Structure 1
Amino acid sequence: MDETTLPPAVDDGSLLIRYLVDLHGSDFQRRLWSALSGDGLATFTGILDRSAFARLARGLAALYPHPDADPDGLTLLHARESGETLGKRGFSDAELLPHTERSCTTVPPHLLMLVCLTPGLHGGETLLIDGRSVAEDLARTEPESWRVLSGPRTAYFGGAAGHAGSIFEPLSSGRWMIRLRLDELVRFAPQTLPHVAILRKVIGRHTKTLLLEPGQGFILDNTRWLHGRRSFQGPRTMLRALGELREGLSPERGFPVLLTDLERTTGKGWT
């Protein structure tokens, strides 16, 4: 996986079905909570327009005020910018490297919700990567990279008012979160760069594709799952919402990682 291209992805046609939550019935929010608590990911079908998606998103979460959102809190994603526009590739037809949303903030939004309104004519597959699988793979196969990439202040996300942190950050009770972007709005401490290259290869091993049709979408834990997108042609249009789970629907952020004492030792950041 080089600096500009996505890795070959496993074309897993069962991904939508594996994580599917039926939105019918009065207890669908409980089922969504259960899916997010266990896997950090839920897929759905049958949300065919903006109003239906808004009801789903608001019923589950307090929406996060993203700078690009419309007044209803939702963001329409379609090709309206050049793929070279700084920080705006989501509004182009260019590929998006795996990332988490709002990595430049101290506390990124817990949930990312996305639904397809119109698929592209070609390409545009969503890429999903379980950060827990990446962390466990990295800690097992590349322990030095795990120690460095989980070290404090080893990455700076965003512009002048960004966030200095790390790709893997410890939370409470042995849980971890992942924070990542791989574009021009991240700077890594010099000693981390060889390990970021290793991380890219590990991410490639765990990348799966999801080709969304109208009304299909997903909800994911933005502190656990990475997402990206292949380039596309045609009128691909998605709706996105970011938010914090409503009171009473509160799976913990992040994910547990079983580590040895050696693997728990983190690296050093900028000095």
Structure 2
Amino acid sequence: MNRVTQRRPASVIRADGSVTRRRETLAGEEPLEIRVNGKPLAVTMRTPGDDFDLVAGNLVSEGFVTLPELLANMRYCGGAIVDGTNTYNVIDAAILGLAPDAISERRVVTTSACGVCGTTSIDEVRRQSHFPPADEDFRIPAATLLALPDRLRESQDLFERTGGLHAAGLFDEQGELLCIREDVGRHNAVDKVIGWALREGRLPLRRTILQVSGRASFELVQKSHLAGIPIMSAVSAPSSLAADLAEEVGITLAGFSRGDRVTIYTHPERIDAG
């Protein structure tokens, strides 16, 4: 069973009253329980695929892991059985040197729309990054930034088939794609990118740009901060809290990056308009 996408019968109704029956491809969405050292940490709704990257990125976003050697291993546990097949919807991650009570204090349930739904205080989500501020000399041409949404879109294979997935892409300072991940949740897509970077030993992600397909929310800026990403760009608008956090932590935040224009909300000194 292909759980990344699923085929379902549907009816297409047009204004002229005609009805066409056909099979549509939908993006998969299933729960994933994340356990750390055998204890439940979170349940998130995600598109199956790149699950280890998702878990690793979530652990970076939660402040548990900053170095790949701290993440000793990850393994699938026994999940639910569907049609006689294990769904592989539970992953246990082993983190070295973690205090036994660290997990019980942070258990959350998230949705595909929200990455911080279990948080009770805004101070709790303003977590400090383990990485120093970005290099002061890091600058990119505006033309490089403007080209990223199209490059991201060209690499969205699952979106082409379903029309229902967010994407996050990590680019280098020349605008070359380093990693792309897709998911029904925008925060999951970003976690998958950051988890890939952790597992590849690339953190902190200095001199990189994170391009996302949707809006720029507070939690995505926070994830960028915790991974050491200096520039984050979105095709839609940022929230006011996202801009406040980006200003505070030194991230260049761009929004409405479409075609021949982009709006820079914070730290514009990294973008060379000429």
Q: TM-score range by the shorter chain?
A: under 0.3
More strand by share: 2
TM-score, normalised relative to structure 2:
0.24
If the length of structure 1 is used for normalisation, what is the TM-score? Answer: 0.24
More RCO (CA 8 Å, sep 6+)? 1
